[in-house]
Amino acid sequence: MSVKRQSEMASPVDQQNKKKKQVRVWVDGCFDMVHFGHANAIRQAKQMGDYLIVGVHSDEEVAKHKGPPVFTDKERYEMVRAIKWVDEVVEDAPYVTTLETLDKYNCDFCVHGDDITTTADGTDTYHLVKKAGKYKECKRTEGVSTTDLVGRMLLLTRSHHQIEDKEMDKQSVGAIGQLVGSGRSSLMSNRQAPSASSPWTGVSQFLATSKKIIQFSEGKEPKQGDRIVYVAGAFDCFHLGHLEFLKKAHKEGDFLIVGLHTDVVVNRYKGSNYPIMNLNERLLSVLACRYVSEVVIGAPYAVTADLMDHFKVDIVIHGMTPIQPDEDGSDAYAEPKKRDKFKTVNSGTDLTTHTMLERIIAHRLQYEARNKKKEAKEAKIFQAMKEKEVYEVE
Ligand code: CTP
Ligand code: C5P
């Protein structure tokens, strides 16, 4: 038995101080169609302290200040809870962050991306915490926003795929009319000529780097005796169906590996302009999920003997969605079935990337109006900021 000397032991006062020193960070937002830009803000906020509380606004608050969200608050709460850097979620958080809110949850400061968020009447939602010196900024992730994802869905483009396929892209843009009817023009022009007036909302391209992948990764190896679970899929526009599925799959073992299919493979079996998010983007969304231990980037569609042996897979799991045959018509799960290592689980939700797309299309006009309003508000604020800069330099 090892005995600690008095000098090595923390006194009750030291322990108390240590407890007090825990830095508690507050982040809030709408987190609609939660994407890796949101996850990256949450990751950076967690790095600024020890304990991270995320306040998520209710549907009523979002509708009042921004426009109706695509996901319900119950869905958004669950999605944020599953992000691995989140310690606690506060439901129905107020849109304007007050000092009372920070005090109530014992938070030292609030973190937000380096863009501007305003209430319906144009007030900075963080003016109170900024004034009190309890506001810190993290870097907003360029090239991903709900606006952009909605644009990709409505326009049926494939330029976000990691393949050179311009001819097919032209054809799919030609087919837009069939899906979105006459309301496409403003989104179309938005995509072709991104607004220069607001530097935050709008369309730009996300570029993944090895640094970002490392920041999102667990970097853990399975431990001796761990039961290894393998699942594979597109995991496009990571949604509640994926989350509930991964939660169930995670319960089947100790170390969950997700095989992500390439854009070409996903496009072969899902058709149209799927995947909406390219492999790099899908990778970050899956890595941000607390149930995932490791990801195979560009996994083969068929779960082969090589793959199972290499990763020492104990069980392969699939949800209730139909499994498409491999390119040669064979069963992609023949190997795990032969080894009696295949199981299906029921995620309990029938939400898919396609039903999400349908939801968005149904809200298309409200969406366009909401984004136009958001960009116009941001442009005004940006202009005022620029004018102030010029004035101060002079
Ligand atoms: N955020 C970010 N990078 C992005 C999108 C959002 O860092 N690409 C950050 C925001 O700055 C904020 C948090 O994520 O700190 C929550 O954002 P949210 O309230 O959901 O709103 P938006 O910034 O409007 O996100 P989006 O345009 O994607 O709807
Ligand atoms: O469709 P996709 O390839 O993204 O699905 C990945 C995995 O998530 C599959 O195993 C699928 O069956 C599962 N899933 C689910 N419930 C949903 C959506 C997907 O179990 N609502």
Structural domain ending residue among the three candidates 138, 156, 181: 138
Residues sharing a CB contact under 8 Å with residue 201, sequence separation 6 or more, in sequence order: 115, 145, 147, 195, 371, 374, 375, 378
pLDDT by residue (tens digit) across 13-44? 666 665 568 999 999 999 988 899 999 999 99
Is 70 a domain residue?
yes
155 and 55 together in one domain: no
Q: Which domain holds residue 61?
A: 20-138
Shared domain check, 192 and 77: no
Residue scoring higher pLDDT (357 or 301): 301
- Distance separating alpha carbons of residues 13 and 7, to the nearest angstrom: 14
Residue 318 Cβ contacting ligand 2 at under 6 Å = yes
Count structural domains, the chain. Answer: 3
Is 358 found in the same domain as 266? no
Rounded alpha-carbon distances, angstroms, from residue 243 to 71, 225, 278, 359: 14, 26, 19, 18
Q: Indicate which ligand has the atom closest to the C-alpha of 126.
A: 1
CA separation for the pair 45, 54 (Å, rounded) = 10
Query: Mean pLDDT over residues 238-248, rounded?
Result: 97
Question: Is the distance from the beta carbon of residue 347 to the nearest atom of ligand 2 less than 6 Å?
Answer: yes
On whether residue 389 sits in a domain, the answer given is no
Instruction: Check residue 283 and give its pLDDT.
Output: 96
From CA 2, how far away is CA 330, in angstroms rounded? 60
For the stretch 360-366, contacts whose Cβ atoms lie closer than 8 Å and that sit 24 or more positions apart, written own/partner, are 360/70, 360/150, 360/153, 360/154, 361/153, 361/154, 361/179, 361/180, 363/68, 363/70, 364/150, 364/154, 364/180, 364/183, 365/183, 366/67, 366/68
Whether 283 and 245 share a structural domain? yes
- Could you tell me if 92 and 58 are in contact, meaning their C-beta atoms sit under 8 angstroms apart? yes
Report if residue 246 sits inside a domain: yes
Residues 115-128 have pLDDT tens digits of 878 888 888 899 99
Evaluate whether residue 3 is within a structural domain: no
Place of tokens 């990801």: 295
Q: With respect to residue 339, please indicate whether it lies within any of the assigned structural domains.
A: yes
Pocket of ligand 2 contains residue 285 by CB under 6 Å: no
Both 56 and 103 in one domain: the answer is: yes
Report the pLDDT value the prediction gives residue 187, as an integer from 0 to 100. 32
Which of residues 72 and 153 earns the better pLDDT score? 72
Q: Tell me if 349 is assigned to some domain.
A: no
d(CA 108, CA 198): 31
310 CA → ligand 2 middle, Å: 24
Nearest CA to ligand 1 atom 11: 113
pLDDT digits (tens, 9 = 90+) for 376-388: 777 877 777 777 7
CATH of the domain at 340: 3.40.50.620
Task: Tell me, in angstroms, the distance from the centre of ligand 2 to residue 273's CA.
Answer: 18
Are residues 115 and 99 both part of a single domain? Answer: yes
In the listed set 90, 108, 138, which residue is the last one of a domain according to the structure? 138
**133 and 46, same domain (yes or no):** yes
CB-based pocket (< 6 A), ligand 1: 29-32, 37-38, 40-41, 112-113, 115, 140-141, 144-147, 201
* Residues 304 and 275 both lie in one domain: yes
Q: Let me know whether 365 and 311 are in one domain.
A: no
Q: How many CA atoms lie within 13 A of 19 on its CB side?
A: 7
Edge-first strand listing for the sheet containing 88-91 = 88-91, 51-56, 24-29, 109-113, 135-138
Please tell me whether residues 227 and 337 are part of one structural domain: yes
Take residue 268 and report the two structure tokens written for it: 């072969």
CA–centroid distance, 133 to ligand 1, in Å, is 21
Same domain, 131 and 152: no
Residue 390 lies in a domain: no
Question: Do 179 and 267 lie in a common domain?
Answer: no
Bridge partners (DSSP) listed for residue 347: none
Proximal ligand: closest to the CA of 332? 2
User: What is the pTM (predicted TM-score) of this model?
Assistant: 0.83
Structure tokens at 11: 């006194």
Counting residues of the chain whose pLDDT is more than 70, the rounded percentage is 82
Average of per-residue pLDDT across 325-340:
96
Average pLDDT over residues 324-350: 96
Does the residue 254 lie in any domain?
yes
